[in-house]
Amino acid sequence: MNSSTQQDSGKLILRIALGALVFLHGISKLDGGLEGITKMVEAQGFPGVFAYGVLIGEILGPLLVITGFFSRIGGILVAINMLFALYLVHQGDIGHLNQQGGWAIELQIMYLATAVAIALLGPGKYAFNQR
């Protein structure tokens, strides 16, 4: 396996892992509704319509990432979604550790970092378009 194939395979693994995991969060929001998210958004002074951004960041963004169709844009959408999630939901956890001794927001930071990496690296050759 040459270096280029290894890099493209690595990008594919990153895309599928991030996209699938974030997409599952989006699906759960569709089942449970956006009422709770709307309340959180409004409590922070944002318009309630911003709650629908979670569907963009957790449904559309991951689908773009997984398919490799404008995956850089999908990565940016997921990253923005994660920044909002950190601000709205996990702000109080930033300075804390979890019960296992890890950072309380390590999963959210991993999603954010992976999304930024995909936005910077692009999808590789195993994608619908290489953008």
Residue 129 lies in a domain: no
In a domain, 127, yes or no: no
Give residue 72's pLDDT. 97
- pLDDT the model gives residue 31: 86
Burial 57-92, CB ≥16 within 10 A → b, else e? bbbbbbbbbbbbebbbebbbbbbbbbebbbebebee
pLDDT number for residue 32: 81
- Write out the residue range of the structural domain in which residue 67 sits: 3-121
pLDDT at 131: 64
Number of structural domains (the chain) is: 1
In the prediction, which pLDDT does 33 show? 85
Which residue ranges of the chain lie beneath pLDDT 50? none
DSSP state of 11: H
Question: Would 52 be classed as within a structural domain?
Answer: yes
